[in-house]
Amino acid sequence: MAATAEDLLDTTQGQPPAAPQSFFQTTMGKRVAIGGGIALILALMIAVWMWSQAPEYRVLFSNYSDRDGGAITASLDQMGVQYKFSEGGTAILVPAEQIHDLRLKLAAQGLPKGGNVGFELMENQKLGVSQFLEQVNYQRSLEGELARSIQSLGSVSAARVHLALPKPSVFVRDQQKPTASVLLNLQPGRALDQGQVSAIVHLVASSVPELTFGNVTVVDQTGALLSEQAGKGAGNKMLDATQLKYVDQVQENIIKQVEAMIKPLVGEGNVRAQATAEIDFAQVDTAAEIYKPNSPPEPQAIRSQQTSETQGAGAGASGIPGALSNQPPGVNTAPIDGEAPAEAPAPTGPSTKNSTTNFEVDKTIRYEQRPMGGVKRLTVGVVVNYRRIVDPATGKVTVRPLAANEVAQINELVKQAMGYSQARGDTLNVTNAPFDGVDKPAEAVVEPDWWRDPANMPLFKDLARYAFVAAVIAFLYFRFLRPLLRPAIKKFDEATAVPEEPKEEDKVEGEEGEQEAEADEEELEEEEKIRRDMGYRANLKLAKDLANQDPRIVANVIKAWLGSNE
């Protein structure tokens, strides 16, 4: 009967039936929503932490060809290495800690090939190939190897080599020398000096038989001719870049030596020096044969001596030339009277004596070879500032020139530092003059603040990144995660809490509290019973009044009950 009264009450009030609750309004839905929120917040915190710990990427290879780029990325995918491209796709970036290992592994696979085919082309020769095709493959291989060697230079990003190898001929008049052309693609902002160009020319010329230096042409990507085709003749008097660099180095060394010698005497910033060096780049070979003038015979050394003497044998033939004068002498006859014959007179004639003496000749033979790069003449100028005196009490600055003996001492020191030679014609000028602003008061050296020091910028960046990550994680935890976890933490604490044993006093108070609680519960039950009785009576009265006023509603309710029971 009570149920009928309540149904009648609801029907009379005309209220629509309660709308069905959504899934997230139920207890299970609320739990799922809380779990999803916790998972989302944890995922955000982990993502922020991983972002702060992201690896640093560095360039693995740059300025590669499309074929090499595809082969490199395929190999990295096969090895499971993460990589990315720089802006414009001109470089492949990999984690910094793996860059050296990956370069070695890719080099073992022959990557990158650089777009040039080397001698590996000869490994794929087929049987029965013609001699012409063999020559073409050999030329392509040689050009590729030379291009690879040139690309190993730091200033060269790419290179191409073209060789013109003529066919050999048995006739001397038909023989031709090979030629070569090199096209260089330099790095942005880089240039080659004359020494590097000469090195490339010598590299190519030394790699091809019978190829001379003058037959090698080197051109850059702008079309500028880098190599000199004509040989350096006698009329070429210009200095090349290497010689000019050597002159600058000599002058800079002299300036450093002079300033380093004078700075301890006059102080930092009080001396300026400049030097001009004349360098002799001529390479001279001298051969001399010198003969000294004749000296007195005493100290001379005799090389050889020869003496000859000739004595006359009698009168020679005389008279008128002819047959009679050439008759032999008559026959000797014995004396008749037995007397001894008189002695014939001894023949007399001219005697000669020849003496030849050869002395050693003084001769000096000298061969002299002077290398290029000798110093012909030095010119050095030195300016020394006035002596600066600061009064410590007032801070007033006074200047005075150096004494004459101090200037003379500096002059001698500079001569020793520069290697002064009067025979060579060196000149030196030391001047004592006031510098601009020498009388200004001394300014205190202000060190930059530590937060403005450029050396600390990387540290500041790392600290800022870690502080940002910590702030984001703390915000997500205290703003979202902690409120969602608070009910679960409270229930966990209540479930795991161990009740403490009450003391004697607490037990007495607890017993009294229990009695009072039981009395309160009894009072509450009586009040609830009275309230239910009053509600039942009120509903019953309301149903009776409704039946008296509109019996059709009661009849409809009864019909509905009977239909539901059927």
Residue of 125, 122, 149 lying closest to 138 (CA atoms): 122
**Residues 6-18: what's their mean pLDDT?**
45
Maximum mean pLDDT: which of 169-178, 326-335, 549-558: 169-178
Look at residue 494 in the predicted model and tell me its pLDDT. Answer: 67
In this predicted structure, the answer to whether residue 336 has a pLDDT above a threshold of 60 is no
Looking at 68, 88, 109, the residue that finishes a domain is 109
Q: Is 76 in the same domain as 152?
A: no
Measuring CA to CA, how many Å separate 429 from each of 161, 176, 183, 402, 405? 55, 61, 51, 15, 15
- Work out the pLDDT band at 293, boundaries 50, 70, 90: low
Average pLDDT, the chain: 76
- Work out the pLDDT band at 15, boundaries 50, 70, 90: very low
Q: How many CB atoms lie within 10 A of CB 142?
A: 18
Q: Is 377 in the same domain as 253?
A: yes
Contacts within 8 Å (CB) and 24+ apart, 104-108:
105/75, 105/79, 106/72, 106/75
Q: How many CA atoms lie within 13 A of 272 on its CB side?
A: 9
**Residues 22-33: what's their mean pLDDT?**
65
In this predicted structure, the answer to whether residue 252 has a pLDDT above a threshold of 60 is yes
For the stretch 210-229, pLDDT in tens is 898 889 999 998 888 888 64
For the stretch 347-373, pLDDT in tens is 555 677 888 877 777 778 888 777 778
- 128 or 8, which is more confident: 128
Q: Is 105 in the same domain as 134?
A: no
Does residue 267 sit within a domain? Answer: yes
Quote the percentage of the chain above a pLDDT of 70: 69
Q: Who's near 313: CB < 8 A, 6+ residues apart? A: 347, 349
The one-letter code for the residue type at 434 is P
In this structure, of 75-84, 269-278, 397-406, 506-515, the range with the lowest mean pLDDT score is 506-515
Looking up tokens 């850059």, which residue turns up? 220
Q: Is 249 in the same domain as 388?
A: yes
Look at residue 12 in the predicted model and tell me its pLDDT. Answer: 43
Q: Is 186 in the same domain as 258?
A: no
Does residue 222 sit within a domain? Answer: yes
Look at residue 413 in the predicted model and tell me its pLDDT. Answer: 94
CA 221 to chain centre: 23
- 70 or 428, which is more confident: 428
Quote the percentage of the chain above a pLDDT of 90: 16
In this predicted structure, the answer to whether residue 556 has a pLDDT above a threshold of 90 is no
Q: Is 247 in the same domain as 376?
A: yes
In this predicted structure, the answer to whether residue 155 has a pLDDT above a threshold of 60 is yes
**Residues 318-341: what's their mean pLDDT?**
56
Render 523-534 in DSSP notation, one character per residue. HHHHHHHHHHHH
Q: Is 192 in the same domain as 125?
A: yes
Does residue 319 sit within a domain? Answer: no
Render 207-268 in DSSP notation, one character per residue. HSTT--GGGEEEEETT--B-S--S---TT-----HHHHHHHHHHHHHHHHHHHHHHHHHH-T
Distance CA 214, CA 526 (A): 124
Does residue 23 sit within a domain? Answer: no
Looking at 441, 462, 497, the residue that finishes a domain is 441
Does residue 17 sit within a domain? Answer: no
Q: Is 140 in the same domain as 289?
A: no
Does residue 322 sit within a domain? Answer: no
For the stretch 167-195, pLDDT in tens is 887 787 778 889 999 999 888 888 888 88
- 562 or 60, which is more confident: 60
**Residues 281-305: what's their mean pLDDT?**
71
Q: Is 181 in the same domain as 68?
A: no
In this predicted structure, the answer to whether residue 65 has a pLDDT above a threshold of 60 is yes
Look at residue 458 in the predicted model and tell me its pLDDT. Answer: 77
- Work out the pLDDT band at 27, boundaries 50, 70, 90: low
Looking at 441, 474, 502, the residue that finishes a domain is 441
Q: Is 97 in the same domain as 164?
A: no
**Residues 386-399: what's their mean pLDDT?**
79
In this predicted structure, the answer to whether residue 490 has a pLDDT above a threshold of 60 is yes
Does residue 538 sit within a domain? Answer: no
Look at residue 180 in the predicted model and tell me its pLDDT. Answer: 94
Distance CA 97, CA 103 (A): 12
Look at residue 408 in the predicted model and tell me its pLDDT. Answer: 93
By residue range, what is the domain housing residue 153?
Answer: 119-228
Q: Is 123 in the same domain as 47?
A: no
- 300 or 8, which is more confident: 300
Q: Is 87 in the same domain as 32?
A: no
Number of domains making up the chain: 4
**Residues 28-42: what's their mean pLDDT?**
74
- Work out the pLDDT band at 425, boundaries 50, 70, 90: very high
- Work out the pLDDT band at 332, boundaries 50, 70, 90: low
For the stretch 81-134, pLDDT in tens is 888 888 677 788 888 888 888 888 888 887 776 666 666 666 667 777 788 888
Does residue 94 sit within a domain? Answer: yes
